[in-house]
Structure 1
Amino acid sequence: MPNNSILGVFAKSPIKPLEKHIRIVCKCANKLPSFFDAVIAKDWEKATKLREEISQLEKDADVLKRQLRLELPGGLFMPVERADLLELLTQQDRIANKAKDIAGRSLGREIEIPALLQDDFKAYLTRCLDAIEKAGDAICELDDLLEAGFRGREVDLVEKMIHQLDEIEDDTDSMQVNLRSGLRKMEAELNPVEVMFLYQIIEWVGDLADLAERVGARLEILLAKN
């Protein structure tokens, strides 16, 4: 193989695009608090604008995902297995998809969050986004992990992040139970169809944290293989 071809393989690091992808995903999901502020205020014009921004960021993540899938090299010079990176990419992308789904369904139904649940819902959403941020922080350590040869304090740092991510996801599970319990107590006062969609939105917001935890789990598998 000519020297320039070998250098080309090394130069096309898959890590930077993966990190860029998770940053777009985080930016996409982080639009949701402002979106729900608009929903609660029944400012549907602002909610529509924010939903469009979320949708555009999801498309940006999708474009980068397809590009990375096409260009991700395979063979002897990959520092980690191609399949592992593709699985990480898939889990990351599902977060952006879910954020778009949440905004789309909430706007489409002009969902109303009962006043008594609004503070708990906002805290729940914030905690789910904490999980995504923590997953993003862990992914952005991949370059340093590679440089360290998956050894030493860098591995300890990422493993600590993954543990923190698991703890955050546990928090969101408890918060979801409390929210669902609060909603159940007021079901009789609400439109049954709206109640059904509220339960769905609560579940989908929780999915954000679940998907972030899956990113951490895939990263943990990658650590175990190196």
Structure 2
Amino acid sequence: MQVWTKLFAKSPFKPLIKHSEVVLNTVETLERALQAWHSGNYGEMERLAIEVDRLEDVADRIKEEIRDSLSSKLMMAVAREDVLIYLHMQDKVADAAEDTAKWLLVKRPGELPAEIKELILQMGTESIKAAKLVHEAIVQMDRVIESGFADGEIEKEYGLIRKIESVEKEIDGLDTRLMQLVLENAENLSWGDGFYVLNIARTLSNISDKAKDAAERIRLMMNK
């Protein structure tokens, strides 16, 4: 606990960055799991998906330690409540990655149309890009604080937030296209495979949604 208190004394974002590093590791591991799934290497996919679950547990433990060590007596550049809300939102990104990993482990799909597999992989790449940008954004927020809210550092932060919002919009379009593809291939897909694909897509989309929520919280902290 004392470690987190010392970090908070330096900057309210130092502990958040430590937590974010684990979240980043979680989504990057999921990205490799999706690549293994796409190539049909299900043994490797299962190993990586299980690792995603383990990393999400680590992120949860760090979140709880940070929350328990954040005393109301600490003097910080941002409100304690804002830090806790952001921490919760950042942790939701790891939760969403774990949800996708669980769906990957549910079953080994039958023969899926190549176009559907490509689109799932694209959705994963883009959603995880949003999560990676959130890590960059919280690191940049620390630079904003250290610079005394210098205009140049603030503009860099807003640029990252806009990128996250742009990725989230693109994911919405990919999600719609995937639903169309599943319906177009209804005769070639079992009910189970269709359900499986749509739930992987839903959880992947949720990663970018949670990343956008975290970015919006950073924007609110910047504007206070």
TM-score, normalization by structure 1: 0.89
Structure 1: state its 5+ residue gaps.
Answer: 1-6
Structure 2 unaligned residues grouped into runs of 5+: none
Q: Which moved more, 1:22-31 or 1:144-153?
A: 144-153
What amino acid is aligned across from residue 86 of structure 1 in structure 2?
A: L
| Deviation of 1:172 (Å) | 1.1
The match for 2:57 among 42, 56, 59 is 59
Q: Which residue of 2 aligns with 1:108?
A: 106
Contact 2:12–2:78 (CA under 8 A) maintained in structure 1? no
1:154 and 2:153 correspond: yes
Distance 1:76 1:30, change over 3 A: closer
- Give aligned-pair identity as a percent: 26
Query: 1: CA distance between counterparts of 2:7 and 2:19?
Result: 20
How far apart are residue 76 of structure 1 and its match? 6.2
Distance 1:127 1:158 in 2: 20
Structure 2 counterpart SS, 1:90: helix
CA 95–76 in structure 1, closer or farther in 2 if over 3 Å, else same: closer
Q: 1:178 to 1:94 in 2, by over 3 A?
A: same
CA RMSD of the aligned region, Å? Answer: 2.0
The residue that corresponds to 1:79 in the other structure is: 77
| Counterpart code for 2:57 | K
Alpha carbons of structure 1 residues 37 and 160: separation in structure 2 relative to 1, 3 Å: closer
- Map Cα deviations across residues 12-38 of structure 1 (whole Å, 9 max, x no partner): 643111011112111101112321233
Using the TM superposition, give the Cα deviation of residue 10 of structure 1 relative to its aligned residue in structure 2, in angstroms.
Answer: 6.7
Paired residues of 1:135 and 1:165 also in contact (CA < 8 A): yes
Tell me how far 1:8 sits from its aligned partner: 6.4
Structure 2 residue aligned with 1:216: 215
Please give the per-residue CA displacement for 1:105-158, whole angstroms capped at 9, x wherever unaligned. 221222454322122221221111111111111101122111233342111110
* TM-score, normalised with respect to structure 2: 0.90
Matches within 5 A, 1:171-210: 171-210=170-209
Q: Which moved more, 1:27-36 or 1:80-89?
A: 27-36
